[in-house]
Amino acid sequence: MSKTINLTLKVWRQKGPEDKGHFETYEAKDISTDLSFLEMLDLVNEKITLEGKDPIAFDNDCREGICGMCGAMVNGIAHGPQKATTLCQLHMRHFEDGEIVVIEPWRARPFKIIKDLVVDRSPFDKIIQSGGYISVNTGSAPEANTIPVPAQKAELAMDAAACIGCGACVAACPNASAMLFVGAKISHLALLPQGRPEAAKRALSMLRKMDELGFGNCSNETECEAVCPKEISITNIARFNREYLKASFGSSEK
């Protein structure tokens, strides 16, 4: 049943990358528990706007948990307390009346803060550019059913491909490692026969790019898996490591 609650928000406000930033307190009153977290922020922003002040900036688009654009630390947890849920799909029924809610942007060295809760995740695009694809020009593809793919492999590939690139894994990791993000892409493509020809090259070059962009290494904290809204498994990191070892010692790729 829907009801209304009152919350106190402590929101990170930062004008730009050079600004130091600080927490600001807002009262969120009469919030229907049917609202999503972002709709709650919309309401707070309406009020801030009418007061003639600058509303809280936050990234969002699809609001159905698939575009990967939204995300913030809510009480210290990436995307908030509900498991396997993006911030836009988190609903206010999971909060208690009178609760204090602390909202911060992703904090990771490779993701610069643009404003308030908005960060720059373009390093993810750069990682994909370094090899997260299968090289096939339009028009050169063979008939789709010529290469059967065992259903189980296709399912595993799909599990990995479900990554939405939101960056929660990096934000949750004490090392700001992107191993889950990269592992998911490596796995998705390595599991499919279409992706095998470039598997070795891909593993080497994506890992190198990840290092170069300042992401840390994996030290098996498994924080990434815990916060992933798409429940991408850390077995993908293990598969990435195997692909990397195979490529380093068992292939002529450098």
Partner 1 sequence: MELDSRVPGGPLETKWERHCFELKLVSPANKRKFQIIVVGTGLAGASASATLAELGYNVKVFCIQDSPRRAHSIAAQGGINAAKNYAGDGDSIWRLFYDTIKGGDFRAREANVYRLAQISNNIIDQCVAQGVPFAREYGGLLANRSFGGAQVSRTFYARGQTGQQLLLGAYSAMMRQVSAGRIKVFPRREMLDLVVINGRARGVVTRNLITGAMESHAAHAVILATGGYGNAYYLSTNGMNSNVSAIWKAYKKGAFFANPSFVQIHPTCIPVHGTYQSKLTLMSESLRNDGRVWVPKKPGDKRPPEQIPEDERDYYLERKYPSFGNLVPRDVASRNAKEQCDAGKGVGPTGYAVYLDLRDAIQRDGEEVIRKKYGNLFQMYERITGENPYKTPMMIYPAVHYVMGGLWVDYDLMSTIAGLFVLGEANFSDHGANRLGASALMQGLADGYFIIPYTIGGYLAGTELPAVSEDHPAFLDSQKQAQETTRKLLSINGKRTVNDFHRELGHILWEYCGMTRNDEGMRKAKELIPELREQFWQNVIVPGSSEDFNQSLEKAGRVADFLEFAELLVEDALSRRESCGCHFNEAFQTKDHEALRNDEIGCYVAAWSYNGPGGKPSLHKEPLVFENVELVTRSYK
> In the window 27-66, what residues touch partner 1 (CB under 8 A)?
32, 34-36, 38-39, 42-43, 46, 48-50, 52-55, 57, 59-66
Question: Would you give the binding string for partner 1 spanning residues 65-94, x where CB under 8 A is met?
Answer: xxxxx------------x-xx---xxx-x-
Asked if 88 contacts 142 with a C-beta cutoff of 8 angstroms, the reply is no
Given 140, 249, 250, 252, the residue binding partner 1 (CB under 8 A):
140
**Is residue 254 involved in binding partner 1 (CB under 8 A)?**
no
**Is residue 102 involved in binding partner 1 (CB under 8 A)?**
no
**Is residue 151 involved in binding partner 1 (CB under 8 A)?**
yes
**Is residue 171 involved in binding partner 1 (CB under 8 A)?**
no
Nearer to partner 1, 114 or 221 (CB): 114
Question: Would you give the binding string for partner 1 spanning residues 198-217, x where CB under 8 A is met?
Answer: --------------------
Given 23, 81, 97, 150, the residue binding partner 1 (CB under 8 A):
150
Given 12, 26, 37, 124, the residue binding partner 1 (CB under 8 A):
124
Nearer to partner 1, 218 or 240 (CB): 240
